[in-house]
Each structure stands twice: as structure tokens, then as C-alpha cells.
Amino acid sequence: MHKLIVVSVAVAMLAPEVGAQIRASERGSVSQTVDGTVITVDYGRPQARGRDSLFGKVVTRDEVWTPGANQATTFQISRDVTVDGKPLPAGKYSLWLTSDPTSQWMLYFHKNAGLFHTAHPRPADMALAVPISHTTTAEQVEVLTFDFPTVSPTHTELRLRWGTTTVPLDIGITPTTPKVVLTADQLTPYLGTYAVTFATPNGGRSPEMKLAIVNAKGALRGILDQPNGEPVEMEYLPTETPGRFMPAFLKDGKIYDVEVAPVEFDVVNGRATGFTAMFDGKPWIQAKRKN
């Protein structure tokens, strides 16, 4: 009886330690928001552990494989997107991949996001099939990794890396504020030079800065002179409300960020006298026309 008690105590002491051991393929996730569209990948992260030729040996050429381990990797999008140019409706999918070196690699999206990695669904049952490219790099990535190395207002790249293999995917986003070309009559009331001030943290206003608003091929373009730096270029995107625009910052002539606070122009007799942008109920930007 005494020996039984000793053994039972020993097992009880070991149990938490065994249960706390690190799993061979820990779960990971990565998420990226692009213009309000949220993209999330949740996946198991197997390790290479010194194994060569992961694709072709560990992942066999005839295998429909989830790029991960254990529970199938999932891909969730809050809005419709395109994957390498192919449309994919909003929803949550499980991801599957074939990597036969003698044929085209394919990535598949299955509507059942709750599958286990041994399910190996048939390609014919997939919601979307996308031919994919892959490259071999000198860098060895030990743990399977998804990331988003590049982001723009209308695209992001989802990248899979494991071992020396990299698989890039282009995720296309439909802009919430589409490009609108305005007529000369629509632009004229706002064109001119303005004196702009910004709210300061102590409740005051910044020194005046010169803002020139011009017609840039049907777009309302602003060029803000900074006292100690390069001019800032922005585009004022029209909304459904007359006189209300969303300021979008430009880099190399392309939009890279859109402010959350709109600017409201005051228009008197067909001519803007200035504008205001509010933040937390207070005027953040104030502008008065100079000419």
C-alpha cells in the first residue's frame, strides 16, 4: 500500500510537467488590415529540424497538404478579395496545397475551415484553385512562417516560407473610396492658396503653413509647404456629401494612407473660403483662403 501511494504521488508530480511540454508544431497567426479589409491566417508551425527537400520528401508530390500542421491552416477575410487575380468571397476557408515538382503548384481554398490536416480533400471539392509560383532562396527558414511583407492601399502580399522555399500570393483589395475624376466646374470652387494651422498638444495652434490646392488631371491635389522639410502632397477624395473630402497622403504619386477625419470646406457664392477637419469634437486642421 505504501509503495502504491509513493508511485501515485510521483505520477501526480510528473503530470503537470509532461502536460506543459512544447508541442512539436505550435499554433501561430498573422493578420493584416488593408483599407478596412481584415485578412487573418491561423496555422500550425512545423519545424524543419535539419530535414532537406521539405517539398518532395516531407510533403510528398502527390499529397494535398495543408501548409502547416495539426488542424488545417485557415484563411479568413472580412470582405471579398482577389487571390492572384482570382475572386474569393468574404469568409473563412481552410488552405491546401499541392507541390508536385513535375507540374504546376496549386493552392486551394476549402469552405470547411474546421478540417484536420489528414482530411486531404479532393481538388474538385475546393471553393477556389489558384496556380502559384515558388522560389528557392539561400535563407533557411526553420519554422514554417506566413507574413505580409508588402502592403499598399489596394494590395498586400501574403508570403509562405519554410526551409528554402518561398511562395508569394497577391491579395487584391477593392478600395472603399474608388478613384473619381472631377470636372473643372466641380474643382474650381476649391482651387487656390490657403493658410493652414494644426492643433498642438498644449491646446494652441501651429504656425501658419502654405497649402496650394490645384487641379491634377481631375483630382483635387494639395501641396503643403512644411517649414523644416519636404512639401507634403495629398489628394482630397470626394465623398457623397458636397464640400466634404477625405485627405489621402501621396508617395511617388500614389495614395499610401487615408486620414480618418474628413475636411469640410466652407463654400460661399461658389467659392471655398476655407476648411476644417475635426478630431474628438475639436478642430484639428483649420484653413483660410489667401487667394
Q: What does the domain layout of the chain look like in residue ranges?
A: 24-173, 184-289
Q: Give the pLDDT of residue 78.
A: 95
Full-model pTM? 0.64
Architecture of domain 184-289: Beta Barrel (2.40)
Q: Give the pLDDT of residue 253.
A: 82
Burial class (CB in 10 A: 0-12, 13-18, 19+), 93: buried
- Mean pLDDT across 92-97: 96
Confidence band, pLDDT 50/70/90 cuts, at residue 257: confident
- Mean pLDDT across 189-206: 96
- Mean pLDDT across 180-193: 96
Residue 206 and residue 226 in contact, taking contact as beta carbons nearer than 8 Å: no
Q: Give how far the C-alpha of residue 152 lies from the chain's centroid of Cα atoms, to the nearest Å.
A: 8
Amino acid sitting at position 72: A
- Mean pLDDT across 193-210: 96
Q: How far apart are CA 226 and CA 223, in angstroms?
A: 10
Confidence band, pLDDT 50/70/90 cuts, at residue 23: low
Q: Give the pLDDT of residue 133.
A: 93
- Mean pLDDT across 203-228: 95
